[in-house]
């Protein structure tokens, strides 16, 4: 009887884990603050692509120069991404950035890795707070 209950509980736990919808880990390297700072020291060779929503960039901060393409739209904009630069993908904690990095690598882009903007800041890096543009007056 105890074995049956244990098996039922184990099966329930496995079913719950499968329904949680957690995405698999990315294969992309998660860059530290010092690794990113070294890459940014050669700005003509690196491109930051921020895959967050504009409101996330505005509220959490970002980097002074980047290309903004939300994660869900990345595949539609591949032709706009230069292939002659090393690419770093940015999200809040590098989860979405890692998945975006995996996509770009599969498509033939040179990817250095993924970085979390909030992680970068927690490691002592400075983010730029960017005010979203005001809606045009009618």
| Domains along the sequence of the chain with CATH | 22-122 (3.40.250.10)
For position 24, what pLDDT does the model report? 57
For CA atoms 11, 14, 16, 18, give the dihedral sign. Answer: negative
The three-point CA angle 61-75-135 to 5° equals 45
Question: Which helix H or strand E contains 56, and what residues bound it?
Answer: helix 54-60
DSSP string, 65-113: S-EE--GGGGGGGGGGS-SSSEEEEEESSSHHHHHHHHHHHHTT--EEE
Distance CA 118, CA 69 (A): 18
If you average pLDDT over residues 77-88, what whole number do you get?
95
Q: Compare 17 and 32 and report the one with higher pLDDT.
A: 32
Share of the chain above pLDDT 90, in %: 70
Contact (CB, 8 A) for 116 and 101: no
pTM here is 0.77
């Amino acid at each position: 009887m105890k074995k049956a209950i244990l098996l039922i509980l184990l099966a329930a736990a496995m079913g719950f884990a499968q329904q949680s919808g957690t995405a698999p880990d990315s294969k992309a390297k998660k860059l530290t603050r010092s690794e990113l700072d070294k890459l940014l020291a050669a700005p003509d060779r690196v491109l930051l692509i921020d895959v967050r929503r504009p409101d996330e960039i505005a509220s959490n901060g970002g980097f002074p120069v980047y290309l903004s393409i939300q994660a869900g739209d990345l595949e539609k904009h591949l032709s706009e991404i230069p292939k002659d630069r090393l690419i770093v993908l940015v999200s809040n904690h590098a989860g979405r950035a890692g998945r975006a990095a995996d996509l770009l690598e599969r498509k033939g882009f040179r990817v250095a890795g993924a970085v979390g903007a909030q992680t970068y800041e927690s490691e002592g890096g400075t983010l730029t707070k960017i005010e979203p543009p005001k809606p045009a007056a009618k």
